[in-house]
Amino acid sequence: MDRETLIRTLVAAVIILGLLWGYQYLSKRAAGPERPAAQGPAETPPQTPPPQTPPPETPAVTAPQAPPEATTPAPAAGERGGPALQAIGAAAGAPAEPAVIGSARYENNPFNLEAEVEARGGAVRRLTLARHCFFKTVADRWKENPDEREPLDLVLSDAAFPAMRMPLVNVRLAGAKTWSTVDLSEVDWRIRRPDDATVVAEVDVQAEGGGPVLLVRKTFALARAKEPGPAMVKDPLLYGLGLRVEFVDTSTDPALRPEKVQYVLQSPPALPREASRRDERRAVAGMWTQGKLDLKQLVGKDIKPEEPVPAGRMPTMKIGGERVYWAGQADKYFAVIVIPGDQGAAGFAAPPETPFVAEARAIQYTQDGEEGPMAEVQLVTGDLLFGAPPAAPTKGTGPAGTAIGNDYLVFAGPKEPEVLAAPPYAAVRLDNLIIWYACCISIPGITEISKGMTIVLNAFYGVVHNYGIAIIILVVLLRVLLHPVTRWSTRSMGKMQSLGPKMQRLREEFGDDKQHLNQEMMRLYREEGVNPVGGCLPMFIQMPVWIGLYGALLVSLHLRHAAFIPASWLPQGSVFLQDLAQPDALVSWTAPVGQDLPLIGWVVTHMMGGGITSFNILPILMAFAMWLQQRLTPTAAAGPQAEQQKKMMGFMMVFFVLILYSAPAGLCLYIATSSLMGFFEQRYLKKKYAVVPGAAGGVPAAAKEPVPPKKSPYLAGKSRSFAERIRQRIAPDADKAAPKRGKRRK
């Protein structure tokens, strides 16, 4: 392809993309602003500003080894400052055993989650998926007893922070002009478990000089299935951990009566690393902006503090504004998301019109065993106002009676479209966590294509029960459907190739006169009836399909721990093609290699997935299949452009091996199968639409004088006897050896 053709091809691509973007824009304008949907369309949250109340103190988070230090704001002249507060938890010496709710066992388990709530901070120290849902490593599949499989922890017990702790609570007492603060994350709460699905944690807050102020209560609850069975894996409610945060007025002194409360709730820390190629864990937040959900994502290294960070503190960055609808942690396949709002009996019917969360802040922290900084999210609430105290204490709310609080629903489970697109998560558009275009930039229509490819892939799996074979069938189907486009492209490139000699003469005639050269080339195209874009435009037509399929394979949860080759065929402990979401790992070893070597270390770290821990054969087979396909792909006529194109394709094959060496085996299988299919397709098309060099417009080989097929020597010799064939085989060797014997005799 010459320079002019390339320019025209790029212009055509820009026009096509512009038309797609314009169509998407006009369709959205016609449909109106995007709104959250549950059972039906919900109203767009009103854009009324929040009440103008003093904002809470920005929580400063320190390193995991030290708790955050909350300081009381200094009162202005003539104002009474709030008294210092302290937390009173479990009695000294009392046992502080964690309470476990739910279950992670395999059989007859009505729960999808198991949560461990510890006394320190009244926080969730561990959150585990049940083994009938998912397990941690592919090696666990070989264990005969499923309960011996290593479970998948979404909140690690050895994480730097527990989940759902409250590092800062601001209390405005009656008559005080400033906030009083208290840290509830380092005190031992009183823990009790009413049943196997509920845990209640409580702590008292009082003034340092004496006198009760508040009772703070957290209630954790898990959903239970009515009947254990395979359908539990798809039940969205079973992946929810309910949380109720309450503040009960326990004051007996009017000067210590609380008027309003603000607090910070810490979401779960980073999930365990899932992908071997790169770390995809990040802090996420969803908020409504101009009538649609805006997804914010931050990794630890991207957290840039708005102001200088004091010594001993961790960098903090605002990730969500006044309309935060959820926040938490997400990676490639799983997520733990805190959703503020009234859950009701069956979860969210619709998102709350005015979220009580004032903002979400991403916190950067370090953790042992991690290569870089991690990110977690804290939710900062608005004001919770106490009403007038009742005449008599209300049963169950404490001595003074008045109780206020908030409800949360914590989603802890897979990023499965069927789960996230169902109530209660559909109301807050939690399905936006699935990035269908993760392989590239957002192109209009790619999301819909990727979803369609996933549906087709799952349909094939329902027939063959092997995702590797399903990928191959899907690629074959796409190649067959797109064969007319490929045929058109091949014929167009053949016609261009037939004009090679004439174009070369034009270049020699006009030399550096680019203007006249372009005019003469366009005239030649018109005379010969050749479209210079015809050979490349079909490629752009196919690109959305291939990108959509690539994106579907990249984020498909079904490929996780999905084997291509049955394990019974492999040696014990081999993981070759046992997990299509990971590299194929023909030979595995423990320690990464090549990271400490100059230059090679940079390639290994930045292009090959951050560490080579196995020898992967699929990327090499993929490159070989691409080379075979390129050998038969029509190119421009011989010349500098052809040589340059040949070198470029060679470079691209090496580049693909580098960037896809540690890619999921499912992706490499898809590309290798597609390239191999392309090789046979181009071989067929080359024979059918071969071009006679120098012919005007290109003449198919079928138009030439028919030539009888030439028999191969092997087939021709079938009619002779065995002795004759041996004699014919030996005779040439004897004739070659005769001159040598004659020379030795002389």
What are the tens digits of pLDDT across the range 664-721? 889 899 989 988 898 888 888 877 765 444 444 444 444 444 555 555 544 454 556 6
pLDDT computed for residue 175 by the predictor: 83
3-state secondary structure of 678: helix
pLDDT computed for residue 704 by the predictor: 46
Least confident of 186-190, 400-404, 586-590, 632-636: 632-636
Show the tokens assigned to 539: 């490629």
pLDDT at residue 129 greater than cutoff 90: yes
35: which DSSP letter? Answer: -
Condensed to tens digits (0 to 9), the pLDDT of residues 75-112 reads 333 344 578 999 998 877 666 789 999 999 999 999 99
Nearest to 580 by CA among 470, 675, 489: 470
Least confident of 22-26, 95-99, 446-450, 733-737: 22-26
pLDDT at residue 223 greater than cutoff 90: yes
Question: Are residue 238 and residue 347 in the same domain, yes or no?
Answer: yes
User: How far is residue 375's CA from residue 503's CA, in Å, rounded to a whole number?
Assistant: 59
CA-atom Rg of the chain in angstroms? 34
Question: Are residue 124 and residue 172 in the same domain, yes or no?
Answer: yes
The answer to whether 410 and 377 have CB atoms below 8 angstroms apart is no
User: How far is residue 492's CA from residue 712's CA, in Å, rounded to a whole number?
Assistant: 33
Condensed to tens digits (0 to 9), the pLDDT of residues 305-348 reads 877 777 778 888 888 766 788 999 999 899 999 998 865 444 55
Question: Are residue 415 and residue 267 in the same domain, yes or no?
Answer: yes
Question: Are residue 539 and residue 649 in the same domain, yes or no?
Answer: yes
Least confident of 148-162, 256-270, 500-514, 694-708: 694-708
Instruction: Return the top range by mean pLDDT from 239-243, 386-390, 428-432.
Output: 239-243
The band of 598, judged by pLDDT with boundaries at 50, 70 and 90, is low
User: How far is residue 676's CA from residue 631's CA, in Å, rounded to a whole number?
Assistant: 12
Question: Are residue 361 and residue 451 in the same domain, yes or no?
Answer: no
Least confident of 310-319, 336-345, 363-372, 456-465: 336-345
User: How far is residue 267's CA from residue 289's CA, in Å, rounded to a whole number?
Assistant: 22
230: which DSSP letter? Answer: G
The C-alpha angle with vertex 469 and arms to 471 and 276, in degrees rounded to 5, equals 60
Least confident of 34-48, 118-132, 230-244, 641-655: 34-48
The reply to whether 606 falls in a domain is no
Query: pLDDT exceeding 70 applies to what percent of the chain?
Result: 69
Least confident of 29-43, 88-102, 259-273, 567-581: 29-43
Residue of higher predicted confidence among 619 and 530: 619
What is the helix (H) or strand (E) element at residue 255, kind and residue range?
A: none
Tell me the helices (H) and strands (E) count for the chain, helix number first: 14, 23
Angstrom CA distances, 627 to 152, 494, 538, 620, stand at: 41, 20, 21, 11
Question: Are residue 315 and residue 186 in the same domain, yes or no?
Answer: yes
Question: Are residue 401 and residue 458 in the same domain, yes or no?
Answer: no
Question: What is the pTM for the complete model shown?
Answer: 0.76
The answer to whether 492 and 690 have CB atoms below 8 angstroms apart is no
φ, ψ of residue 560 to 5 degrees: the values are: -65, 120
The band of 438, judged by pLDDT with boundaries at 50, 70 and 90, is low
pLDDT computed for residue 630 by the predictor: 76
The reply to whether 669 falls in a domain is yes
Question: Are residue 372 and residue 488 in the same domain, yes or no?
Answer: no
Domain that holds residue 187: 85-428
The band of 55, judged by pLDDT with boundaries at 50, 70 and 90, is very low
The band of 652, judged by pLDDT with boundaries at 50, 70 and 90, is confident
The C-alpha angle with vertex 226 and arms to 223 and 232, in degrees rounded to 5, equals 70
3-state secondary structure of 180: strand
> What is the overall mean pLDDT for the chain?
76
Residue 121, classified by CB atoms within 10 Å of its CB into exposed (0-12), middle (13-18) or buried (19+), is buried
Transcribe 613-677 into DSSP letters: EEE-SHHHHHHHHHHHHHHHS--PPSSHHHHHHHHHHHHHHHHHHHHTTTS-HHHHHHHHHHHHH
The answer to whether 636 and 642 have CB atoms below 8 angstroms apart is yes
Taken in order 434, 439, 441, 447, the sign of the CA dihedral is negative
The band of 292, judged by pLDDT with boundaries at 50, 70 and 90, is confident
The reply to whether 377 falls in a domain is yes
Residue 316, classified by CB atoms within 10 Å of its CB into exposed (0-12), middle (13-18) or buried (19+), is buried
Average pLDDT for 8-18: 53
The reply to whether 70 falls in a domain is no
The CATH number of whichever domain residue 92 belongs to comes to 2.70.98.90
The reply to whether 25 falls in a domain is no
User: What total of structural domains would you count in the chain?
Assistant: 3
Residue 505, classified by CB atoms within 10 Å of its CB into exposed (0-12), middle (13-18) or buried (19+), is exposed
Task: Please write down the long-range contacts of 100-105, taking CB distance under 8 Å and 24 or more positions apart.
Answer: 101/193, 101/196, 101/197, 101/198, 101/199, 101/220, 101/221, 101/222, 102/130, 102/196, 102/197, 102/222, 103/130, 103/196, 104/128, 104/129, 104/130, 104/131, 104/151, 105/130, 105/131, 105/147
| Residue ending a domain, choose from 428, 453, 483 | 428
User: How far is residue 663's CA from residue 242's CA, in Å, rounded to a whole number?
Assistant: 37
User: How far is residue 393's CA from residue 401's CA, in Å, rounded to a whole number?
Assistant: 4
pLDDT at residue 487 greater than cutoff 90: no
Q: Which residues contact 255 (CB under 8 A, 6 or more apart)?
A: 173, 174, 175
Question: Are residue 120 and residue 256 in the same domain, yes or no?
Answer: yes
The reply to whether 90 falls in a domain is yes
Extended beta strands in 301-341, E state? 316-320, 324-330, 334-340
Show the tokens assigned to 322: 């006044």
3-state secondary structure of 200: strand
635, 639, 641, 642: CA torsion to nearest 10: 30
pLDDT at residue 506 greater than cutoff 50: yes
pLDDT computed for residue 352 by the predictor: 56
The band of 27, judged by pLDDT with boundaries at 50, 70 and 90, is very low
Angstrom CA distances, 579 to 136, 154, 272, 615, 713, stand at: 12, 20, 17, 15, 47
Show the tokens assigned to 426: 């559909």
| Residue ending a domain, choose from 404, 428, 452 | 428
Average pLDDT for 178-182: 93
The reply to whether 631 falls in a domain is yes
Cis amide prior to 254 (ω within 30 degrees):
no
User: How far is residue 90's CA from residue 96's CA, in Å, rounded to a whole number?
Assistant: 8
Residue of higher predicted confidence among 486 and 130: 130
User: Residue 697 carries which side chain, given as an amino acid letter?
Assistant: G
pLDDT computed for residue 276 by the predictor: 62
Instruction: Return the top range by mean pLDDT from 131-140, 582-591, 700-709.
Output: 131-140
pLDDT computed for residue 1 by the predictor: 46
- Angle, helices 665-688 vs 537-555, to 10°: value is 160
User: Residue 189 carries which side chain, given as an amino acid letter?
Assistant: W
Angstrom CA distances, 328 to 215, 268, 291, 334, 410, stand at: 27, 7, 22, 11, 9
pLDDT computed for residue 600 by the predictor: 56
The reply to whether 465 falls in a domain is yes
Question: Are residue 479 and residue 348 in the same domain, yes or no?
Answer: no
Question: Are residue 652 and residue 729 in the same domain, yes or no?
Answer: no
Question: Are residue 417 and residue 450 in the same domain, yes or no?
Answer: no
How many C-beta atoms surround the C-beta of residue 431 within 10 A?
18
| Residue ending a domain, choose from 398, 428, 458 | 428
Condensed to tens digits (0 to 9), the pLDDT of residues 383-408 reads 888 874 443 333 333 344 578 999 99
